[in-house]
């Protein structure tokens, strides 16, 4: 009986080995961490015509492999953009934005090849319409590409935010309709 059991175990072990049911050593998983660069100041006021507000909580983050120091994910600028229509009598529609990075030499700093996300679309006005009426405010998260060259100390002078909107006259008027009610029949 022991002979049969030993032969059966040996046959099973041999079959598993031949069929490749052995555990393969796994390559160690690359551990990445976020490297955060502070933007100073982290909060700036915004004013473009009738649109006012602020860009807040600005920071640049790139993901780096811990062991090798290799960049796993290129740098991104993130923050929160709050915009308000400060006009008493104009609406703003088709609100959009674009970010541009200006170097200390006054020239734009280009993104690396294959990177082009610089657009901001705060189109969710929270009002259910496609316009920002007088006094209304919208807040949107910003997450756009950032040029790696601008991470060097004293390389970046300013972040330019180009806002685009269509102003249109806004009037809130009352119309009285003189009416009377006839006797019921």
Closest by alpha carbon to 164, among 106, 114, 122?
122
Over range 52-72, report the average pLDDT.
92
Of the pLDDT bands very low, low, confident and very high (cuts 50, 70, 90), residue 152 is confident
Helix (H, G, I), strand (E, B) or coil at 119: strand
Does position 70 have pLDDT exceeding 80, yes or no? yes
Over range 27-56, report the average pLDDT.
89
Cβ burial, residue 82 (10 Å; 0-12/13-18/19+): middle
Of the pLDDT bands very low, low, confident and very high (cuts 50, 70, 90), residue 28 is low
Of the pLDDT bands very low, low, confident and very high (cuts 50, 70, 90), residue 154 is confident
Over range 3-29, report the average pLDDT.
50
Distances (CA, A) of 68 to 30, 61, 86, 106, 147: 9, 18, 50, 35, 21
Cα separation of 130 and 138, whole Å? 12
Of the pLDDT bands very low, low, confident and very high (cuts 50, 70, 90), residue 93 is confident
E strand map for the chain = 32-38, 44-48, 51-65, 71-85, 90-103, 119-120, 131-132, 137-145, 156-169
Cα separation of 184 and 117, whole Å? 67
Average confidence score pLDDT of the chain: 83
Cα separation of 97 and 13, whole Å? 66
Over range 19-43, report the average pLDDT.
75
The pLDDT of residue 12: 46
The pLDDT of residue 10: 42
The pLDDT of residue 25: 56
Of the pLDDT bands very low, low, confident and very high (cuts 50, 70, 90), residue 52 is very high
Residue with tokens 């507000």: 53
Q: What CATH number belongs to 32-169?
A: 2.60.40
Over range 13-29, report the average pLDDT.
52
Helix ranges (H only) for 20-141 are none
The pLDDT of residue 95: 81
Tokens found for residue 123: 């189109």
**120, 99 contact by CB (below 8 A):** yes
The pLDDT of residue 122: 66
């Amino acid at each position: 009986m022991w002979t049969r059991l030993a032969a059966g175990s040996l046959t099973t072990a041999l079959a598993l080995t031949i069929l490749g049911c052995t555990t393969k050593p796994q390559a160690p998983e690359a551990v990445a961490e976020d490297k955060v660069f502070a933007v100073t100041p982290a909060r700036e006021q915004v004013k473009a015509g009738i649109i006012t507000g602020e860009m807040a909580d600005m920071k640049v983050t790139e993901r780096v492999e811990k062991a090798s120091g290799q960049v796993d994910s290129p740098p991104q600028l993130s923050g929160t953009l709050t915009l308000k229509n400060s006009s008493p009598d104009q609406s703003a529609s088709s609100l959009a934005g674009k970010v541009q990075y200006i170097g200390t030499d006054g020239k734009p700093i280009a993104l690396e090849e294959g990177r082009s996300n610089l657009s901001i679309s705060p189109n969710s006005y929270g009002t259910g319409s496609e316009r920002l009426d007088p006094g209304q405010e919208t807040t949107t998260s910003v997450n756009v590409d950032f040029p790696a060259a601008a991470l060097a100390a004293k390389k970046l002078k300013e972040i330019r935010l180009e806002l685009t909107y269509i102003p249109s006259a806004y009037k809130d008027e009352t119309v009285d309709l003189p009416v009377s009610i006839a006797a019921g029949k």
